[in-house]
Amino acid sequence: MSDLIFNVDNVTLRFGGVVSLNNVSLHQKRGEILAVIGPNGAGKTSLFNSLTGVYQPQEGSISFTDREGKVISIIGKKAHRVASAGVARTFQASRMFSALTTYENVKIGAESHRGIGVIGAMVKGPRTRRGERRSDQRTEELLKFVGLYDKANVISSSLSYGDRRRLEIARGLATDPQVLLLDEPAAGTNPAEKIQLTSLIRKVRDEMGVSILLIEHDMKLVMALAERLYVLNFGSVIAEGSPDAIRSNPVVIEAYLGSSDDESEKSPS
Ligand SMILES: Nc1ncnc2c1ncn2[C@@H]1O[C@H](COP(=O)(O)OP(=O)(O)O)[C@@H](O)[C@H]1O
Ligand SMILES: [Mg+2]
């Protein structure tokens, strides 16, 4: 069985004249915490969208190997099929149902995974009720796991940024994924919340065995968490390696300095 969970081979993605991904090849080992970094517009979110079936690259191949060892070709698959194969993600901009409670937000994820759906939830036959008990159980476990059990009945729009980020992780985990893609999981959080998120993400991998693919601008968080990194710039992979190798790579330093128009935290210092 392949020890690669993702294998991306020569992927090119274009929007009209814009090349978002230019001949990108990369891989992720099963169980790895892998990061993709790069300046704004480098193609990081485009890569995530391609890995999750949201975007369809014109060239190359992306394969995902599930826990039974079955190799699935992602390009051409619909996003919900990719999700049910075991690929979960959080979004750069929060996409939860802000009028619902913490509990309800996670439970929706657990139920959609079990295919109960809106009709099933209304009809509530014996099978649905059993499924619902399992979803309730799973929701409670996940809220405890991410440290939000005491806020289960809080309306999610009134949660702090750090708590919202943890809620999104719980929602991603509700579908029982093999890999979790996190798009800027620490955006908007304060230093104390960043430390908590770092240990939560590591715990997801260590205790649940879920592989982590991370996009993040905060270099301290990325370097603390990632076992290996790829650097994207203008749609191309310009470097790959351990945190130490990336930090001291002149090509990487140049790419960041060359685009340092805003946040100084982006420079890999
Ligand atoms: N749906 C889209 N339509 C047109 N252009 C897009 C689309 N998605 C991404 N792009 C372009 O692809 C490039 C990379 O964007 P993105 O993947 O969002 O970068 P990053 O996440 O690294 O900031 C940008 O030039 C962006 O404008
Ligand atoms: Mg992005």
For ligand 2, a single-atom ion, which residues have Cβ within 5 Å? 44-45
Radius of gyration of the chain (CA): 19
Chain position carrying tokens 């693919």: 213
- How far apart are the C-alpha atoms of 150 and 96, rounded to whole Å? 19
Q: Indicate whether 117 pLDDT > 60.
A: no
User: In the chain, helix, strand, coil percent, each to 5?
Assistant: 45, 25, 30
46 CB near ligand 1 (under 6 Å)? yes
Which structural domains are found in the chain, ordered by start? 1-86+177-269 (3.40.50.300), 97-176 (no CATH)
Contact partners, residue 204, CB within 8 Å, separation at least 6: 169, 173, 180, 210, 212
DSSP code for 58: S
Highest mean pLDDT (candidates 114-118, 131-135, 191-195, 216-220): 191-195
Encoded amino acid at 66, one letter: D
* Nearest ligand for residue 230 CA: 1
Q: Ligand 2 centroid vs 19 CA: distance in angstroms? A: 15
User: pLDDT by residue (tens digit) across 206-265?
Assistant: 999 999 999 988 888 999 999 999 999 999 999 999 999 999 999 888 887 665 444 444
Range of weakest confidence among 135-139, 198-202, 229-233? 135-139
What backbone torsions phi and psi does residue 148 show, to the nearest 5 degrees?
Answer: -120, 15
What backbone torsions phi and psi does residue 101 show, to the nearest 5 degrees?
Answer: -75, 170
- How far apart are the C-alpha atoms of 255 and 205, rounded to whole Å? 30
Chain position carrying tokens 């943890």: 166
Best residue among 46, 52, 56 to mutate for probing ligand 1's pocket (most ligand atoms within 8 Å of CB) is 46
The structure's pTM equals 0.89
